[in-house]
Amino acid sequence: MINPSEVHSLIRLLDDTDTEVYEHVHKKLLSYGTEAIQYLESAYEQAFDSVLQERIPNLVHEIQFDTVKNDLQLWYQSGAFDLLQGILIINRYQYPDLDEQKVINQIEAIKRDLWLQMMNEASPVEQIKLMNHVFYAIHGFTGNTTNHRDPQNSYLSQVLDTKRGNQISLAIIYSIICQKLDIPVYGVNLPQHFILAYLDESRETELEGGILFYINAFNKGLIFGRRDVDMFLKQLNLKYDKQFYEPCANADIIKRVLRNLISAYEHLGSSEKVDELNELLLILGTN
């Protein structure tokens, strides 16, 4: 249990000019984790000292970043089963104070609208056409073609608020909603493009692995076949690789989101964010 008077005493020493004292205080406050944040933020509001005005926000960010790292590691080591949980952890990197229940409610609202329109015995194509109607026509989601490199395209809360995202963020929301209604739609890690596959292992299919067809979430849920993937890979001069056609693991999806963010922040020249996101990427393995 945190001792408020001890925390206040430590915060008062944060502007100490003695490096050894500062390092000790910094380390001790860091060890308190998120419990120390409310005291730090309260002290920041009353701080007129320029050293404190710099050190307190930096320390708060450090604590929050450590929390994101720990959460991501736990998610990964526990099997990375819940894609929504994984993408929410990445969202916490930029929006640590976000009310995540609001995000969950937004997804549930789209799911409910789809469930209300879903017919019994709807075919796979009919299910996807209904999903497309709900997702794009009713809720207004669209690909952000004008500012594709904006890092906000990769943060779930922002995509749900603005209804604009990149290929992978739209595909993540689309697949999460489908899976919540037992519609077997999963992400496929295609180079330079992220697509979805409708997977039904109970049916005889022309495609490998029980895939009936593919879906482009960035292009209004366009349905297409294996031949289109073949042609796309041919244009990129890439040889056949099973992973380009079949659903990938949730950890691979989160890796792709992190790589998109790294690229976006490199473009903006935000080297500190690039370094931190590379730390998160390492947690998920280097492959």
SS3 track for 20-80? HHHHHHHHHHHHCHHHHHHHHHHHHHCCCCHHHHHHHHHHHHHHHHHHHHHHHHHHHHCCC
Q: Hey, what are 100's tokens?
A: 């995540």
Query: Total structural domains in the chain?
Result: 2
What b-and-e string marks burial along 181-201, b requiring 16 or more CB atoms within 10 Å of the CB? eebbbbbbbbeebbbbbbbee
- pLDDT at position 210 is 84
8 Å CB contact between 128 and 221: yes
Residues with pLDDT less than 50, the chain: none
Q: What is the pLDDT of residues 189-244, one digit of tens each?
A: 998 889 999 998 665 555 556 899 999 999 999 999 999 988 988 888 888 888 88
Range of the domain at 69: 4-77
Domain shared by 125 and 42, yes or no = no
Distance CA 203, CA 205 (A): 6
Residue type, 143: G
Q: What is the pLDDT of residues 51-70, one digit of tens each?
A: 667 787 888 899 999 999 99
Helix crossing, 50-77 with 19-31: angle to 10°?
A: 40
Domain shared by 15 and 88, yes or no = no
Domain shared by 216 and 90, yes or no = yes
Domain shared by 41 and 166, yes or no = no
Please report, for the domain that includes residue 71, its CATH number: 1.25.10
